[in-house]
Structure 1
Amino acid sequence: MTEDSKPGESAMDKMRGMAKEMAGKASGNDRMKAEGKTDQAKGKAKEAAEDAKETMGGVKDSMTDDDKH
């Protein structure tokens, strides 16, 4: 998770984006559809950052565990 995001925020961004995109498609509003795609991309980017941070935490833990043995 990034420092300025909260747990589940990436999923909320993706869901909000899907809803906006569907509403934009249904109403013919290209701007809303584009905003939805942007929100989804933002959610995916936050999720990738969260995953990377977790992975780095695991790497750090594994390195410190080796030093103790």
Structure 2
Amino acid sequence: MSARTHPSTRPLPTGVDTRLPWWALALPVAAFVALLLLIAGPGGAHATAGDLGVDRVLEHLQQTLAL
């Protein structure tokens, strides 16, 4: 014998808050800005002046894209 199923009579929730807290956006933005400043900061410019690794990577990229 099968049991009958009853449709749900509960009302749907109408007051659901889908907004994010302020820090849910501020923390990733702050982390991104901090990492960007570490990469592009003036303190790292003198360290890469004598390094040819970056030049080799860029040259390799140029050769690969020229195919």
If asked which structure has higher relative contact order (CA below 8 Å, sep 6+), I would say: 1
* Higher helix proportion (structure 1 or 2): 1
- TM exceeding 0.5: no
Query: Radius of gyration: which is bigger?
Result: 2
TM-score normalised over the length of structure 1: 0.38
